Chains A and B, each alone.
Chain A
Amino acid sequence: MLVNRKLILAHFWLAFAVFGVALTLGAWQMFIRSPIGTWLSNPELYYRSLTAHGTVMGYVFPTLVAMAFGYAISESALQQRLVGVRWAWAGFWLIVAGSIMAVIPIALGRASVLYTFYPPLIGNVFYYLGVVLVVVGSWIWVALMSVNLRVWRKANPGAPVPLAMFANVAGSYLWAWTAVGAALELLLQIIPVAAGLKATIDAGLARIFFSWTLHAIVYFWLMPTYIAYYTIVPRAIGGRVYSDSMARIAFILFLVVSMPIGMHHTFADPQVGAGFKFIHSAFTALVALPTLLTVFTICASVEIAARLRGGRGMFGWIGALPWDNPMMLALAFSFVMLGFGGAGGLINMSYQLDASIHNTQWITGHFHLIFGGAIVIMYFAIAYDLWPHLTGRELIDIRLIRTQLWLWFIGMIVTTFPWHWVGILGMPRRMAYFDFGDPAIAPQALSVTLSAIGGFILLASGIMFIVILARGMRAPQIDAGPYRFALAVHQPTTVPVALNTHALWVALMIGLTLTNYGYPILNLALSSGTSVPAVYVGAQ
């Protein structure tokens, strides 16, 4: 029962429009710093582009996708009209206003601080205020998801919350709490300095606040993808979810353990001692657990689909899968990229191995493979799956869809594998230019060129994606029927309270954040002599 289709489409279209712009910038960046690019006489343009690319891809695009998907889940899984539609539109317009407010100083070169902010570098105050507006807009969505679930519970006392909505609300709570770290950094530290009210800032404390957001935000990006794994893929390929309760446990684990681990981004930092770094490292290992559980459950669910289609044998069933189905294709690509990206992630989270690749191109390769690859390819699949239900029109270009997914997968592999490799060679991140004439840097030239070619393959795929959706707006009308989610093999009739509500887990999430972040933050906030003079971008 998708009633507010216009609202959902508006979110999706804004998401994909800004995605298209940021993708183009990304491809240009890959090109301009590669040996096939021409000398960029003004490197500052690169950092403008990089700030815009990161801000859009990190904050605006995934947030809008999560919101659009969340509204769609709320209406179709709960079979209930969205409560608070006006608020939802207010949230949308806040994001529009925030994005415009942030992009103007970026375009003018007054906010080239990259999306990670890292003070004491300080940009124009409107850049930060714009980001704050985007986050506030998304918090309206968080509140609406909670309100809608509450309304449904009142009408269905004691009934199991549909898995898709349970996971969706878990994801929204995760985002609400994750964003608090960067919000504290912006409101207490950066904005007063950017506005000229203060002239000094504690750069170490800012990095700790930001790490609170920086890691768990990845799991917020991941949520729509995992929801699609569990609740869309099995239905789309004709299977069943292997286990409803294991799915709930996986989402609960994400909610609880993706928060208190962010300091593995600061292993090489001087402002935290070894103890808390080790604790965060161990907790990061823990966050692999929900993914390992998910890999099992989804593979088993896919096997069920294959066997229902007549697949036999130990591995013979793989051939019986509907490989021409875009959802099947997207899932397979996503899993391959998740596998490689996850393995890289395990390297990053261990202090000993991280030292050899920290802040090298390996890291950029890693998160492009996980986010741009494993996660975003499922965003495409979600859009393809929902589109006929949102537009009332059929997506006819199935072959084009398959080509688009193949290109994205190939492009991502061609881009990120050489990217990882040059990272191992020690190539630093975020540089506008490399002197490939230096004999010590020359061996990296081929890999960087390959990555740039991969970037253009991705750009081609991204353009195809937008074209397919745009053509879908004009295709012949059909009755797509109600939007459904996958059923479990043993569909639950009752669910234990712990697996049907979020309160306990939210409390645990907050508690673990306080134990793992409380001391380092208080220690830095209360110590004097750590604030340093701000350095304003563009002031030199």
Chain B
Amino acid sequence: MSAEETHHDSAEVAARVERRWATIAVIIIVMMALLAAFAGIHRATMPQPRVEITDPSRLHLSGEFVESNLGSVLEANGNVTVRAIGQQYSFTPACIVVPADTPITLRATSADVVHGILIQGTNVNAMLVPGYISEQLMRFAKTGDYLMPCQEFCSFGHEGMWGKVKVIDKTEFADRAKGGGRLGCVGQ
């Protein structure tokens, strides 16, 4: 066997090994994309499907986010809707009360700059961008208190922007919801 043939053979081997690795790499990538799609469809964990807008300078005057409409409300079908706004440097309501073991829809927006809402110990995590409404589905398995910091820089008071989520027993929540209105837990 001449030196040239050996050279040629080794080049073939090198190319074959390389192709094999490239194939494995492509399979890994395709698997990851498929897994994400499966989890998204099967477990229904996908970002909010629709884009909704709102005017932050008129939030307090009318519509869904007027102050009297903020907080938790028990819907006719037993689900709960929570409405909240973020502003420099607090959430309203600063303490959100919700029942355990219940499907909850969080609807929130910002009254000024970009904020974020994150409930520690859960995967509830949404940006609050002024002009747009963020919607997130959530469900708490256990009762207890959770911290809810703002997770996006919103100027000099950002470090002080911490809210709270209080998850209470389902029946207790139903009792408190009997009187109607919007529930919160500020000062409790």
Chain A interface residues toward B at CB < 8 A: 43-44, 46-47, 112, 114, 118, 120-121, 202-204, 207, 242-243, 246, 266-274, 277-278, 281-282, 285-286, 288-289, 292-293, 296-297, 300, 346, 350-352, 355-356, 358-360, 425-426, 428-434, 438, 440-441, 489-490, 527, 529-533, 535, 537
| Shortest beta-carbon distance from A198 to chain B in Å | 15
B residues near A356, Cβ cutoff 8 Å: 122-123, 125
A272-B46 contact in complex given A296-B18, A351-B36, C-beta closer than 8 Å: no
A residues near B25, Cβ cutoff 8 Å: 288-289, 292-293, 296
Are the C-beta atoms of B11 and A490 separated by less than 8 Å?
A: yes
A535-B113 contact in complex given A242-B14, A270-B132, A428-B150, C-beta closer than 8 Å: yes
| Shortest beta-carbon distance from A321 to chain B in Å | 20
A residues near B159, Cβ cutoff 8 Å: 43, 46, 431-434
Are the C-beta atoms of B153 and A47 separated by less than 8 Å?
A: yes
Are the C-beta atoms of B45 and A272 separated by less than 8 Å?
A: no
A residues near B28, Cβ cutoff 8 Å: 288, 292
How far apart sit A121 and B155, CA to CA, in the bound complex (Å)? 8
Are the C-beta atoms of A352 and B43 separated by less than 8 Å?
A: yes
| Shortest beta-carbon distance from B7 to chain A in Å | 8
4 smallest beta-carbon distances between A and B, as pairs: A426-B120, A359-B151, A292-B25, A270-B132
A residues near B17, Cβ cutoff 8 Å: 300
A355-B135 contact in complex given A268-B47, A270-B129, C-beta closer than 8 Å: no
A530-B53 contact in complex given A112-B156, A243-B14, A271-B132, C-beta closer than 8 Å: yes
Chain B interface residues toward A at CB < 8 A: 11, 14-15, 17-18, 21-22, 25-26, 28-29, 32-33, 35-37, 39-40, 43, 45-53, 55-57, 88, 109, 112-114, 116, 118-135, 145, 147, 149-160
Are the C-beta atoms of A358 and B158 separated by less than 8 Å?
A: no
| Shortest beta-carbon distance from B140 to chain A in Å | 14
How far apart sit A489 and B7, CA to CA, in the bound complex (Å)? 10
| Shortest beta-carbon distance from A209 to chain B in Å | 13
A268-B22 contact in complex given A43-B156, A112-B155, A430-B153, C-beta closer than 8 Å: no
Main secondary structure of the interface of B (DSSP, over half): mixed
A residues near B153, Cβ cutoff 8 Å: 47, 114, 118, 429-430
Are the C-beta atoms of B45 and A355 separated by less than 8 Å?
A: yes
| Shortest beta-carbon distance from A258 to chain B in Å | 14
List, sorted by A's number, 8 A–B pairs whose CB atoms are closer than 8 Å. A121-B114, A272-B47, A292-B21, A293-B21, A293-B25, A355-B123, A434-B159, A441-B147
When the two chains form the complex, which single residue of A278, A360, A434, A533 contacts B46, counting CB atoms closer than 8 Å? A278
**Which B residue sits closest to A440, measured CB to CB?**
B147
**Which A residue sits closest to B39, measured CB to CB?**
A352
Beyond the given pairs A203-B129, A268-B127, A288-B29, 18 more chain A to chain B contacts, judged by CB atoms under 8 angstroms and listed by A's residue number, are A43-B156, A47-B153, A246-B18, A268-B125, A270-B127, A272-B51, A274-B49, A277-B46, A282-B36, A286-B29, A289-B25, A289-B29, A350-B32, A425-B121, A433-B159, A441-B147, A530-B53, A533-B57
How far apart sit A538 and B154, CA to CA, in the bound complex (Å)? 13
Are the C-beta atoms of A47 and B40 separated by less than 8 Å?
A: no
Are the C-beta atoms of A270 and B114 separated by less than 8 Å?
A: no
A residues near B37, Cβ cutoff 8 Å: 278, 282
A residues near B112, Cβ cutoff 8 Å: 120, 533, 535
How far apart sit A120 and B153, CA to CA, in the bound complex (Å)? 12
| Shortest beta-carbon distance from A516 to chain B in Å | 15
Are the C-beta atoms of A270 and B22 separated by less than 8 Å?
A: no
When the two chains form the complex, which single residue of B33, B53, B113, B116 contacts A268, counting CB atoms closer than 8 Å? B116
